[in-house]
Amino acid sequence: MRVMKTLGVVVFVAMVGAAGLWAWSSRLPANLAPPAGKYDVRILRDEWGVPHIYGQRDADTAYGLAYAQCEDDFATAQEALIMTRGEMAAVQGKDAAPLDFLVKLFRFRDLVDREYEKQLSAEVRAVCEAYADGVNHFASLHPKAVLKRLFPVTGKDIVAGFVVKGPFFFGLDNEVMRLFGDKRAREVSQKKPAQAAPAASVPAVPGVPIAAAEDDWRTEMGSALTQGLPFGSNTFAVAPSRTPDGRTRLAINSHQPWTGPVAWYEARLKSEEGLDIVGGVFPGAPVILHGHNRSLGWAHTVNTPDLIDVYVLEMNPDNPNQYQFDGAWRDLEVFTIPITVRLWGGFHWTVKREGLWCVYGPVVRQPHGVYAIRYAGYDNIRQVEQWYRMGKARTLDEFLAAMRIQGFPSLNVGYADKAGNIMYIYNARLPLRAPGYDWKMYLPGDTSDTLWSEFLPFDQVPRVLNPPSGFIQNCNSSPFKTTVGAGNPDPAAFAPELGVEGPDVMTNRALRALELFGPDESITPEEFYAYKYDVRYSAESNAAKARDLLVNAPPPNDPLTAQAQELLRRWDLSTDFDNPCAAIGVMTVEAVVRQNKLGDARAALAILGRKARQLQDSFGRLDVPWKEVNRLDRGEISLGLSGGPDILHAVYGQWQGKHLAGQAGDCYVLMVDWDRDGNVHSQSVHQFGSATLNSASPHYADQAALFAETRMKPVWLDEVELRQHLHAEYRPGETWHCPEVGAR
């Protein structure tokens, strides 16, 4: 990327001629800890180390949550916060400079400073400020582990974390960084008469990085935020009409990276102000992002609506800082973007880049053009407000009222409640665009025709509420195939300019969900659990098509490739633990699909040969049981796994020289049901444990065996029951037997 190369050159010059070097202060600000008595909170750790935060007020629980999470992963919590300030390169070096540039180009912090008191309620600001106080308190007690430039953390830092992270889920970083290529990435759309067209679609099986050192696994599904790993997720819900015991069931099953700023952390929050919830949070989040209270629950999956547009500006040949708009020249706003880069030790160098802004939004000047970027929801900072209100909701109507905030501009929602309601919402802030343009291309930036400012109302986005089938599912798939039979949204009701995924966008996980739930008219608890942990590829999936392409290809001359072809012929498309054909099958078809070689048997056979050699070199054989190849590595622990890429039991691994080490996929899984009387019951599992980074903790990997065996642990919502499984009880700042937290 040109921006990275430029920054790298400047850094090199700085290292050679050390003029202008400076070092960070080693001192922490005084009085980081909050005044005594400001918060009334207890932290109860259960036998798995999961923090149950009991506070008098909602703000108290946020303060306790921050402190507990810092105990388990202070380094990631700090990095997540400093990222929102655009100062990651000051910690990690020049490789993080492009992310800092993006954060400062969009002026996210200026937006938060301007809108903090306007858009957020006083109670939500109090929650964010309490979380910041919890981080500050922990920092004051662990100065050796502190990134000094970060402190003190403020409530605005917490809100900025939501504002910065949100657009990464629909690919903003990829779209911006594409502008720094050597040439223009797309043509400019010319206006033409509007024509009926199918809704926008993406490949049926997203690219997923599981293997092959020779493959480029940083696919478009990846992100600077997640270091190239895929986003995915599953959710399913069944109504009482579909269960023999009259229960309502919900699976909360996000697929995230297993470490880093968007890795899940489990917590339970209870206050005397009505907060009573369990679920997952990311580092820096003061509220539950998906989970359940006693009345209702929800899950998120990533959707891919078209929320980003790039415009090509027509520049004034006599003034490089003017662009044409509706027949007149307008001035670009010009500002400076400082990027601080760590060189060595405590020494840093500040690089200055040009920042530009126009009527569409931020602008990037390149040799092949001047581009403006616009995305839906930029001026909305109410993400944390919405998640807070969702967690406090007790009825379907209250939950929908929270959803109407539309604080986060994408992410599907799967929902269920104790009244027996089930629901799927294609949550997206969809721009109302002018017909006649191809909005997948770049757009002309000289006309107000392409400057959208209104959105499809929330109550008109695709939705499935209590369908006759009695079940809903979404696995990063089309909203138009949420269930079977009546009740699905009509694709014809949504204009192509909205950019909603069409009916052809079906992951293997979605295909399997429909195949499993669809014909089963009485779904038992055991079946619901088994369907979530299904380990098979559908015969309709692209994985099956890749297998068939290879099986029907001419016999290869290479004996090892011929042996691999025969194993593929025997493969039943399952990824169970002991399957002897899954290793060569999964590793090969994943690469064939990701590299778009479904129509090229010769190229597919070449991939098969490379994968066969990889297995032969590592294991001395090709028919290796899948559990020996597909592994969970955590410290000194290495466990065999079933599942695989785009499997309902999703596991995405990276080749580590001898086997695939899991990096993403199933992680924090929460299964919920409500009985006929409306009582809630749930169980959960984390791929590692509650101590997400603290390797000295007994909870660093104590759930790994459960995860590998596809088992779960109970969730204890009642304090009386919790105390029968209590590991520790304390207040922030008090000593308990958790080992000392070290700096990463």
pLDDT digits (tens, 9 = 90+) for 375-419: 999 999 999 999 999 999 999 999 999 999 999 999 999 999 999
pLDDT reading at 21 higher than 80 = no
Angle at CA of residue 696, ends 690 and 698, nearest 5°: 50
Structure tokens at 12: 């090199």
Domain ranges of the chain: 542-632
SS3 assignment for 349-376: EEEEEEEEECCCCEEEEECCEEEEEEEC
pLDDT band at 233 (very low <50, low <70, confident <90, very high): very high
Q: How far apart are CA 364 and CA 383, in angstroms?
A: 27
pLDDT band at 209 (very low <50, low <70, confident <90, very high): very low
Q: Is 20 left (phi over 0), alpha (psi -120 to 50) or beta?
A: left
Pick the more confident residue, 416 or 1.
Answer: 416
Angle at CA of residue 472, ends 519 and 466, nearest 5°: 105
Which amino acid would we find at residue 591? A
pLDDT reading at 228 higher than 90 = no
Q: How far apart are CA 666 and CA 98, in angstroms?
A: 29
- Residues 119-138, mean pLDDT to the nearest whole number: 98
**Cβ count within 10 A of residue 439:** 22
Relative to beta strand 51-55, strand 265-271 is parallel
pLDDT reading at 728 higher than 80 = yes
Structure tokens at 158: 């917490």
pLDDT reading at 7 higher than 50 = no
Q: Which residue has the tokens 């986003």?
A: 231
Please state which of the ranges 38-47, 90-99, 250-259, 398-407 shows the lowest mean pLDDT.
Answer: 90-99
What pLDDT, in 10s, does the model give residues 446-459? 999 999 999 999 99
Pick the more confident residue, 357 or 13.
Answer: 357
Q: Tell whether the torsion through CA atoms of 7, 9, 15 and 19 is positive or negative.
A: negative
Q: How far apart are CA 207 and CA 646, in angstroms?
A: 9
Structure tokens at 163: 């504002």
Please state which of the ranges 41-50, 346-355, 394-403 shows the lowest mean pLDDT.
Answer: 346-355
Helix axes 155-165, 58-83, angle to 10 degrees: 60
Q: How far apart are CA 668 and CA 173, in angstroms?
A: 25
pLDDT reading at 724 higher than 50 = yes
**H or E stretch covering 708:** helix 704-708
pLDDT band at 232 (very low <50, low <70, confident <90, very high): confident
Residue whose C-alpha is closest to residue 538's, from 546, 530, 550, 529:
546
Q: How far apart are CA 88 and CA 339, in angstroms?
A: 9
Report CA 207 to chain centroid distance, whole Å.
15
pLDDT band at 173 (very low <50, low <70, confident <90, very high): confident
Q: How far apart are CA 1 and CA 95, in angstroms?
A: 11
Residue whose C-alpha is closest to residue 359's, from 372, 376, 377:
372
Q: How far apart are CA 444 and CA 180, in angstroms?
A: 19
Angle at CA of residue 153, ends 266 and 92, nearest 5°: 80
Mean pLDDT of the chain: 90
Q: How far apart are CA 517 and CA 169, in angstroms?
A: 28
pLDDT of residue 55: 98
Angle at CA of residue 626, ends 620 and 632, nearest 5°: 105
Residue whose C-alpha is closest to residue 273's, from 40, 45, 70:
40
pLDDT band at 193 (very low <50, low <70, confident <90, very high): low
pLDDT of residue 149: 79
Contact 309, 443 (CB under 8 A): yes
Q: Is 225 left (phi over 0), alpha (psi -120 to 50) or beta?
A: alpha
Contact 232, 650 (CB under 8 A): yes
**Residue 354, beta-bridge partner list:** 336
pLDDT reading at 304 higher than 70 = yes
- Residues 11-15, mean pLDDT to the nearest whole number: 33
> Helix (H, G, I), strand (E, B), or coil: what is residue 655?
strand
Strand ranges (E), 467-515: 471-474
Please state which of the ranges 181-195, 209-223, 403-417 shows the lowest mean pLDDT.
Answer: 209-223
pLDDT band at 638 (very low <50, low <70, confident <90, very high): very high
- Residues 677-689, mean pLDDT to the nearest whole number: 98
pLDDT of residue 213: 27
Pick the more confident residue, 14 or 665.
Answer: 665
Q: What is the pTM of this model?
A: 0.91
Which amino acid would we find at residue 46? D
Which amino acid would we find at residue 504? D
- Residues 91-115, mean pLDDT to the nearest whole number: 94
**Cβ count within 10 A of residue 2:** 15
Contact 50, 269 (CB under 8 A): no
Structure tokens at 707: 């995860």
Angle at CA of residue 539, ends 666 and 670, nearest 5°: 20
Q: How far apart are CA 595 and CA 50, in angstroms?
A: 41
pLDDT band at 215 (very low <50, low <70, confident <90, very high): very low
pLDDT of residue 29: 74
- Residues 654-666, mean pLDDT to the nearest whole number: 95
Q: Which residue has the tokens 């001395």?
A: 620
pLDDT of residue 345: 74
Helix axes 542-551, 559-570, angle to 10 degrees: 130
Q: How far apart are CA 42 and CA 736, in angstroms?
A: 13
Contact 483, 472 (CB under 8 A): yes
pLDDT of residue 347: 87
pLDDT of residue 231: 54
pLDDT reading at 217 higher than 70 = no
pLDDT reading at 13 higher than 50 = no
Residue 446 phi/psi, 5-degree rounding, is -115, 15
Which amino acid would we find at residue 445? G
pLDDT of residue 28: 72
Q: Which residue has the tokens 């669809």?
A: 518
pLDDT of residue 334: 98
- Residues 238-243, mean pLDDT to the nearest whole number: 98
What pLDDT, in 10s, does the model give residues 325-349? 999 999 999 999 999 999 887 788 9
Please state which of the ranges 16-25, 304-313, 377-386, 452-461 shows the lowest mean pLDDT.
Answer: 16-25
pLDDT band at 27 (very low <50, low <70, confident <90, very high): low
What pLDDT, in 10s, does the model give residues 616-629? 999 999 999 999 99
Residue whose C-alpha is closest to residue 53's, from 38, 68, 39, 73:
68
Contact 100, 108 (CB under 8 A): no
pLDDT reading at 744 higher than 50 = no
Q: Which residue has the tokens 């005044």?
A: 35
